[in-house]
Amino acid sequence: MSTATPSSAPSGRRERKRQQTADHLAATAFALFDAKGYEGVTMEEIAAAADVAKGTLYNHFPVKEALVAHQFRREIATGMTEIGPALEQQATFAARMAYLLHASAEWNQSRRMYLPQYLRFRWAQTRLGKEKAAADDYGSGSYRVLEALFREGQKAGEVRSDISSRHLAATFELMLVGAVMIWLDHPELELARNFQIALELLLHGAGPPAGKRKR
């Protein structure tokens, strides 16, 4: 027996339609970005190529950067589905995190040209006091993945439990964003190595290795 109420079914259809339209707009935008370059594409061109009214585009995405954020969220969700089984097979928290960061480094490298726009947009959302909107509508989804990994690590006794998994995930996500920003400023560096350093700091702190500490 269906549990849907008369009002919930239309609402669900509207949300699916809204999501389909947003996905179509983002995919259209990225096809144009890849063909003409991000700066060479206007919102008007995106609307025309997607065959929607300009107002429809702006109702979904107020700026071009929001299209990037939406596409990133879709790609990361797809990527997590693909690596999920392999991630679960990793025996420890450290191994799972290392596996995730390796996959993340590869994806970030493939989307390097769009990362500056995305990071500026997310930062602007936070500074304008729109943390909830950024997390719900434009977040990459990586935060929820990190929180789940920290939560499982806590259950296994591999991660300290006096700090919430939410707090740990938020803090580590900022470390990873910092690693990406360093890499964008210094292209000679390897992002995978930057992520590895962030993970080492998470697991072992910034002190010297045990065998090299002063006595």
Q: What is the pLDDT of residues 111-122, one digit of tens each?
A: 999 999 999 888
User: Which class would CATH give 64-206?
Assistant: mainly alpha
Residue 214 pLDDT greater than 80, yes or no: no
Q: Residue 143: what pLDDT?
A: 82
Q: Residue 210: what pLDDT?
A: 63
Q: Which residues, in sequence order, are CB contacts of 123 under 8 Å at separation 6+?
A: none
Q: Which amino acid is at 152?
A: E
Q: Residue 3: what pLDDT?
A: 46
Residue 36 pLDDT greater than 50, yes or no: yes
Q: Is there a shared CATH topology between the 1-61 domain and the 64-206 domain?
A: no
Average pLDDT over residues 102-114: 95
Residue 72 pLDDT greater than 90, yes or no: yes
Residue 206 pLDDT greater than 80, yes or no: yes
User: Which class would CATH give 1-61?
Assistant: mainly alpha
What predicted TM-score, i.e. pTM, was given to this entire model? 0.81
Q: Residue 88: what pLDDT?
A: 92
Average pLDDT, the chain: 88
Listed by start position, the domains of the chain span 1-61, 64-206
Q: How far is CA 102 from CA 56, 67, 74, 151, in A?
A: 38, 25, 19, 20
Residue 12 — very low, low, confident or very high, per pLDDT cuts 50/70/90?
Answer: confident
Residue 2 pLDDT greater than 80, yes or no: no
Residue 157 pLDDT greater than 60, yes or no: yes
DSSP of 164-188, one letter per residue? Answer: -HHHHHHHHHHHHHHHHHHHHH-TT
Q: How far is CA 202 from CA 4, 61, 206, in A?
A: 45, 36, 9
